[in-house]
């Protein structure tokens, strides 16, 4: 399944976040089956202020991958994940229900 991830972390946590991110990249390169696959991003949202925010699209094959991701990076990372689905599957199902 594909998910959109919206993330945020406080600017004062940037050093900790980058350290955890580096470790995450090493682990996910060694055992990619245990972690989500990035399809788009991560991208930061251009802004100023007291937090860094961003977005990415990830592919997740099972709950374990998402749990591993969260455990590796949170805290300081705060993230929400929204499920995406292919509208090509929606239209035929919708039309079939109208009959």
Full 3-state SS string of 48-75: CCCEEEEEEEEECCCHHHHHHHHHHHCC
* Confidence class for position 90, pLDDT limits 50, 70, 90: confident
Mean pLDDT of 69-74: 96
CATH number of 2-98: 3.30.70.600
At residue 53, the pLDDT reads 96
Strand residue runs (E) in 1-99: 2-10, 37-44, 51-59, 78-84
At residue 84, the pLDDT reads 94
pTM of the model: 0.85
pLDDT in tens, 28-63: 999 999 999 999 999 999 888 899 999 999 999 999
User: Bigger pLDDT: 23 or 98?
Assistant: 23
């Amino acid at each position: 399944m594909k998910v959109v991830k919206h993330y945020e972390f406080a600017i004062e946590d940037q050093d900790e976040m980058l350290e955890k991110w580096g470790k995450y990249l090493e682990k996910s390169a060694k055992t990619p089956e245990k972690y989500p696959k990035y399809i788009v991003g991560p991208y930061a949202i251009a802004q100023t202020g007291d937090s860094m925010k961003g977005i990415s699209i990830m592919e997740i094959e099972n709950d374990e991958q998402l749990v591993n991701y969260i455990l590796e990076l949170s805290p300081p990372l705060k993230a929400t994940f929204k499920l995406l689905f292919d509208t090509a599957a929606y239209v035929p199902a919708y039309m079939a229900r109208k009959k």
